[in-house]
Amino acid sequence: MCFYFVRRLIVYIRQPNVFQNTWEQYLSPFNKGLWIAIAVIFVLLTFGLFATDYLGHLYADNRKDQLLKYTIVQSTFIVLAILCQQVSSYSATLISILTIRYQKLPFTSFKEMLEDGTYRLGLLQSSAELDYFEKSNDSLLQILNARMISPVKPELPKSHIEGLRRLCNIEKYAFLGPNSILKSLLKNISCPVIPIPQAYIPATSAMVIGKQSTYMRIFKHTYVSL
């Protein structure tokens, strides 16, 4: 009997200390073009409010609900108050940006990893992952294998924990392996590491066992629970 397991081979790197928050984010509301647009809108809204109120009084024959008049001064202050509310919204956004720092990843996919060109890629020696790269028909994976894996094939780590520890000891090193296994080993390394969300390979593994095997019930139970 054959059991199939779907797993994800994903790239891990050491957590970078670079964040996306920049002064451009803080100063973008003070852009010259933006303030010119605000000034134009301010004038248009002020005169628009005054004009509609004037026309309303002109054609409403002094109805009771038209007794309140918006002079040019009143219209100016009303529009100014609305714009001040937008400034308070900017203040809240600025506080949010300063409080939450978004990490900037050096790359998010295999393609970007190749374009970056500064990272080394490692995976397990004599493993299914290595065999997958060597026999893949995907042009991107073939280039990765030719540039990053084949030249250092004798130096590839012999265990998953060794590969993860290299993330801490070697600058700009990336390690690819089964996500479930790597996650379980993270507590055994000395530095924070993170997975690259789009740099992964979906993989299917199979295990063949005899019908009379003592492990059959265990596999069936695990399969049903999944």
Nearest to 11 by CA among 131, 108, 150: 108
Q: Which residue has the tokens 């299914």?
A: 128
CATH of domain 9-17+107-203: 3.40.190.10
Nearest to 193 by CA among 172, 215, 223: 172
- For the stretch 45-68, pLDDT in tens is 888 888 888 887 777 665 555 556
SS3 75: helix
How many of the other CB atoms lie within 10 Å of CB of 164?
A: 24
What pLDDT was estimated at residue 65?
57
Contacts (Cβ under 8 Å, ≥6 apart) of 2: 206, 207, 208
Cα distance between residue 138 and residue 67, in whole Å: 75
> Amino acid identity, residue 14?
R
Cα distance between residue 70 and residue 61, in whole Å: 16
What pLDDT was estimated at residue 191?
92
What pLDDT was estimated at residue 19?
57
Tokens of 135: 């026999």
Chunked mean pLDDT (size 10), the chain, 226 residues: 70 79 61 82 88 77 62 86 77 68 80 91 90 90 92 93 94 92 91 89 71 70 60
Cα distance between residue 122 and residue 184, in whole Å: 18
- For the stretch 149-190, pLDDT in tens is 999 999 999 999 999 999 999 999 999 999 889 999 999 999
- Please give, one letter per residue, the 3-state secondary structure of 116-137: HCCCEEECCCCCHHHHHHHHCC
pTM for the whole structure? 0.59
Tokens of 50: 């005054």
What pLDDT was estimated at residue 173?
94
Sequence ranges of the domains in the chain: 9-17+107-203, 23-99
